[in-house]
Structure 1
């Protein structure tokens, strides 16, 4: 079974980038470059920025050139003394228009596009922060998983040695058969734990490579936690101002309000200035020629739309209310999550300290029990228990270290950093 896991790990490592020392900072930078989710969010944000230009273009002059050309035969039937002839009718028209008054449609469209761009950029920031947190979690999981493999490998080796010693003492008549049975049971437990640790390591490696595109080789120890606000009140103020999820909801509300203004503008007339130049040949009789230039003002006012405009206004007002409710919900959620994350950072740091002390004490106790068992002061079962407790304590320490750094980056994500 170990050979199977080793082959899988070798395969995964073989398809990854060349081995090199990787820090958490390196992994985060690689994930930001690699993540297709971020690339998609950036593309969405760029598209939203382009819509601002399109909305502004609605208020600028436009020029349209149209033309036709054909071939045929025209027969005036003798009117005006004209005879039938083969003709090539053709016409061209150039129209230049400049909106003068649109009832607020253009300004509403620009405001809606700007709000959409802001929402898209906030979405990009949100996606990036999620990828960062996921990468930190994956980095810690890889370190923890491989630490667990090492711990259980050591535990299996220790249990095999204890079992061997128990068999020797039993043959010498110095210990009962119970010691052998107990050692075999703990050895089987350690072997099962080792196989489970190998499986977790393969899964953690695959997750890390999926996020970063890097091979999970020679990962450096977890660094100290990044700086965090000193008080929960400070953290709340920062989150309310910079949280990307909240910013996205607020931008969506601004877009909904702009859309409502645009819907109401449909009730107002539109006025624009225009200039047209046209030319035509062979349109009505052979050798027909005409040229014209027109300058003027054109207006349009839809007086009745069968209730369509009113329905659009009602719909847009409903969307504003929905967006406003989402903003209030987002604010409450951000406050709750920030308070929880702030406390989580404090708790994770204290848990890591306690786990480190526990691991150190458990290791010392194991070493003492091993000596006492060797000289016959304690039964072998005590050593089996001490080995298991020391392994469990070391595993808790590894998890606590990962939880501490993940909690810190989760708080930073909520603060928009």
Structure 2
């Protein structure tokens, strides 16, 4: 399947949920991705680059087609033949017009090399489009998860501040009537300050996450649905590696750059060869050489041009393009090794993220159960209020860890798919 078709199918897949959504409907990750693709200036820039590459192919193909040139001059002056042929001085309006049509017959390979170079440019631009979309998908997924995580953090720390404020108030009351030492008041005050700092930090992170999400998607970060389960992923590392070798955008772009460099090298060598073209010319001349001078002409023929000596320009260009080919080939090898390393890392990150999320979810569940137990024990006087604050803090940290693990899991999945060229 071509890059264009993959991109079109992705756009339809991502845009379908957005088109079906109604006012008040919670935004899904798929809808956020579709909005980002429609909104991001980077996508518009990549699309414009691809259009420019296709226009360069049209320019290159034009080298095989005939050209038609019309030129002309007109002026006003006085011509004095000095009595030659018995002609006297007279005011004249010298004018001339010429039409030339030329069809290239042999260009030494210049045109073919230019076409190949332009086609490689299109392949590189389309790979750049795919790469831009992949990076955007990962950025939006991360931003989406960050908005959910920070919103929950603000809620949890807000609840902690409320509870800590009440505990600090009760500690002061008990201290005043002599039921608790001043240490309890100081510890409760410290916990309250810690909770307020956590809430301020969470709010700051929320503002940043929402601004980043809004900048990427153009949507308001409100009423986001929970993160979905992972999309379909390759079952084995070999399957992921094979797909990445065929479809990775960065690798495809470097390979296109190599083909473009090779075409440029062929074009540089072609400049050492002659060019041959068939031409037809027609011309008309008036009032030149002497007054009332008239001449019309028509010519057809073959025109050849061969630059035999260029002072080293041609050989220097050949050396330059050969060096560019070697550099592009080295970049392809380096990119292939880099992609292989990234796929191995991403494949393992997916597995690791799934295990971490499960462990973090279990930890959050256990911490929540422990919090309920401590809350009951504090209520019946078996434990002090400060133990409840510690349990609250552990529960918040565990839930935040679970939320972050969920974000890491979906980001790892999309990163692997983007390396495989599926987004």
TM-score (norm 2): 0.92
Give the equivalent residue in structure 1 for 2:75: 70
Q: Partners of 1:311 and 1:319 in 2: how far apart?
A: 12
Q: Output aligned runs, 1:60-209, within 5 Å.
A: 60-209=65-214
The DSSP-based 3-state class of the residue aligned with 1:83 is coil
Q: In 2, are the aligned partners of 1:151 and 1:395 still within 8 Å (CA)?
A: no
Aligned with 1:349 (options 351, 354, 360): 354
Q: Partners of 2:171 and 2:374 in 1: how far apart?
A: 16
Give the equivalent residue in structure 2 for 1:230: 235
Q: Partners of 2:24 and 2:76 in 1: how far apart?
A: 73
The number of aligned residues is 400
Q: In 2, are the aligned partners of 1:369 and 1:378 still within 8 Å (CA)?
A: yes
Give the equivalent residue in structure 2 for 1:3: none
Give the equivalent residue in structure 2 for 1:332: 337
Give the equivalent residue in structure 2 for 1:8: none
Query: Cα deviations across residues 228-259 of structure 1 (Å, max 9, x unaligned)?
Result: 11111100100111111100000000000000
Name structure 1 gaps, 5 residues minimum.
Answer: 1-17
2:397 is the counterpart of 1:380: no
Aligned with 2:46 (options 16, 41, 45): 41
Give the equivalent residue in structure 2 for 1:365: 370
Q: In 2, are the aligned partners of 1:274 and 1:298 still within 8 Å (CA)?
A: yes
Return closer, same or farther for 1:356/1:191 CA change in 2, 3 Å cut-off: same
Q: Partners of 1:380 and 1:109 in 2: how far apart?
A: 79
The DSSP-based 3-state class of the residue aligned with 1:92 is strand
Return closer, same or farther for 1:116/1:130 CA change in 2, 3 Å cut-off: same
Q: Partners of 1:25 and 1:108 in 2: how far apart?
A: 43
Q: Partners of 1:379 and 1:202 in 2: how far apart?
A: 36
Aligned with 2:301 (options 283, 296, 300): 296
Q: Partners of 2:37 and 2:106 in 1: how far apart?
A: 46
Query: Cα deviations across residues 304-345 of structure 1 (Å, max 9, x unaligned)?
Result: 111111111110000000000110111011111111111111
Query: Cα deviations across residues 165-210 of structure 1 (Å, max 9, x unaligned)?
Result: 3334444544333222222111111110000001000111111111
Q: Partners of 2:307 and 2:219 in 1: how far apart?
A: 61
Q: Partners of 2:85 and 2:172 in 1: how far apart?
A: 129
Q: Partners of 1:93 and 1:340 in 2: how far apart?
A: 68
Q: Partners of 2:75 and 2:392 in 1: how far apart?
A: 96
Give the equivalent residue in structure 2 for 1:215: 220
**Could you tell me how far 1:19 is from its partner in structure 2?**
7.2
2:319 is the counterpart of 1:314: yes
The DSSP-based 3-state class of the residue aligned with 2:295 is strand
The DSSP-based 3-state class of the residue aligned with 1:166 is helix
**Could you tell me how far 1:347 is from its partner in structure 2?**
1.1
Q: Partners of 1:170 and 1:390 in 2: how far apart?
A: 28
Q: In 2, are the aligned partners of 1:179 and 1:380 still within 8 Å (CA)?
A: no
Q: Partners of 2:250 and 2:365 in 1: how far apart?
A: 42
Name structure 2 gaps, 5 residues minimum.
Answer: 1-22
**Could you tell me how far 1:378 is from its partner in structure 2?**
2.7
2:384 is the counterpart of 1:402: no
TM-score (norm 1): 0.93
Aligned with 1:277 (options 279, 282, 290): 282
**Could you tell me how far 1:379 is from its partner in structure 2?**
3.6
The DSSP-based 3-state class of the residue aligned with 1:58 is helix
Q: In 2, are the aligned partners of 1:355 and 1:393 still within 8 Å (CA)?
A: yes
Q: In 2, are the aligned partners of 1:20 and 1:217 still within 8 Å (CA)?
A: no
**Could you tell me how far 1:383 is from its partner in structure 2?**
2.1
